[in-house]
Amino acid sequence: MCRATTPTRAKSTASLQGRRATTSWKMSGCPSDPGSRSLIGGSVLRWLVRRLLLAIPVVWGVVTISFFLMHLAPGDPARTALGDKADAASVAALRHQWGLDRSLPMQYLSYLGQLLHGNLGQSLYYHTSITSLMAQRLPVTLILIVLSAVFAVLISIPLASRTVTKPNGLAAQVVRLFNAVIQGSPTFFIGSMLILFLGVRIAIFPAGGYPDGFGHRLWALMLPALTIALSIVPLLVRGLRAAMIESYSSEYVSFARSKGLGEGKIRRRYVLRNASISGVSILGIQVGALASGALVVEQVFAIPGMGSMLMTGILNRDYALVQACTLVFGLIVVVVYLLTDLVYARLDPRARLS
């Protein structure tokens, strides 16, 4: 409970009220408005349940679209598996074995029934359960995405700070040129250039592959993660730069300067802290770009993750594998969006989970 303090002098009262007016809600110790929904108790649980219920039609849409796109695309998995020289009877027998001779609505309902029972099906190409394949490939892609996000943040923060502190300096011009070149370059080209310079000529990182041992595997993922991170760095730099410029022009920064705080402490304690709110939002939105970047980069660096498995399924008309990979990528995006909203509300007390 927040209690009002009764000062002994009118001057002290005015000074105390002025300080309270410039103090954030977090430091004042007072709760927010009674009617607002914040990160307290049951409101979080209600918000979480509501968001999960809203995610159900999104996931269903991903499953439905991926199913019909794969089945309506030209090509026959049985013919692809047996080869062009296989006779029609063999192809028909294999289609019957895989259930591809049934009508499309029946195949769709059967697929939904398998998903509701937690069965992702059997891979037509690998001839094994997709669940076991996911257990092997999914951790690799998740580690790659997390490393990419970490690298993107570590690169973007100093670049954005440099463009704000000296907007017309040489370093700021170099950063703008760097952002323009990176944003105009496809991911596979960035990866190829990094392989050429850092993997072959300088030979700091492995040029490709996925060796045994956790330490060696983590080191092998550095260059692919850097490739994916660079693809989203320009967006992060622009977002952080705009947020930092807005923070520098705010009243609390002027008040901090009037107290005699140095620019470095102001940047760390006030500017970057508030700019991180915008950075979290942009990074959460770009999780789709990280996932799609993993699909390309895993092919370039020969990483056995979800992306390379998805490409193998597409090229070999493996319906069940492609649908399962698409479903997992969709779930990753939904979960990250959910976590982004939670982190955003935690960083910014003005945001309400309503």
Q: How confident is the model at residue 90 (pLDDT cuts 50, 70, 90)?
A: confident
Report pLDDT for 150: 92
Nearest residue to 159 via CA among 177, 138, 185, 186 = 177
The larger pLDDT score, comparing residue 125 to residue 288, is at: 125
Share of the chain above pLDDT 70, in %: 86
**Any idea where the domains of the chain sit in the sequence?**
43-116, 130-347
Q: How far is CA 208 from CA 12, 143, 168, 308, in A?
A: 68, 16, 39, 13
Report pLDDT for 340: 83
Q: How far apart are CA 123 and CA 324, in angstroms?
A: 10
How many residues in total does the chain contain?
354
Region 11-23: what's the mean pLDDT?
Answer: 40
pLDDT in tens, 190-215: 888 999 888 888 888 888 888 888 88
pLDDT in tens, 161-199: 888 877 777 888 888 888 888 888 888 898 889 998 888
Report pLDDT for 349: 65
Q: Tokens 């399924």 — which residue?
A: 313
Q: How far apart are CA 231 and CA 190, in angstroms?
A: 8
Taking 50 as the threshold, does the pLDDT of residue 14 lie above it?
no
31-45, 84-98, 236-250, 292-306, range with greatest mean pLDDT: 292-306
Q: Which CATH superfamily is domain 130-347 in?
A: MetI-like (1.10.3720.10)
pLDDT in tens, 219-258: 999 999 999 999 889 988 888 888 888 877 778 778 778 8
Report pLDDT for 354: 53
Averaged pLDDT of the chain: 79
Report pLDDT for 166: 76
Output phi, psi for 37, to 5 deg. Answer: -105, 115
Nearest residue to 130 via CA among 352, 309, 279 = 309
pLDDT in tens, 306-332: 988 998 888 888 888 998 999 998 888
Report pLDDT for 352: 61
Sign of the C-alpha dihedral computed for residues 289, 292, 298 and 300 taken in this order = negative
Q: How confident is the model at residue 147 (pLDDT cuts 50, 70, 90)?
A: very high
Report pLDDT for 207: 84
Q: How far apart are CA 61 and CA 111, in angstroms?
A: 14
Task: Take residue 92 and report the two structure tokens written for it.
Answer: 């028909």
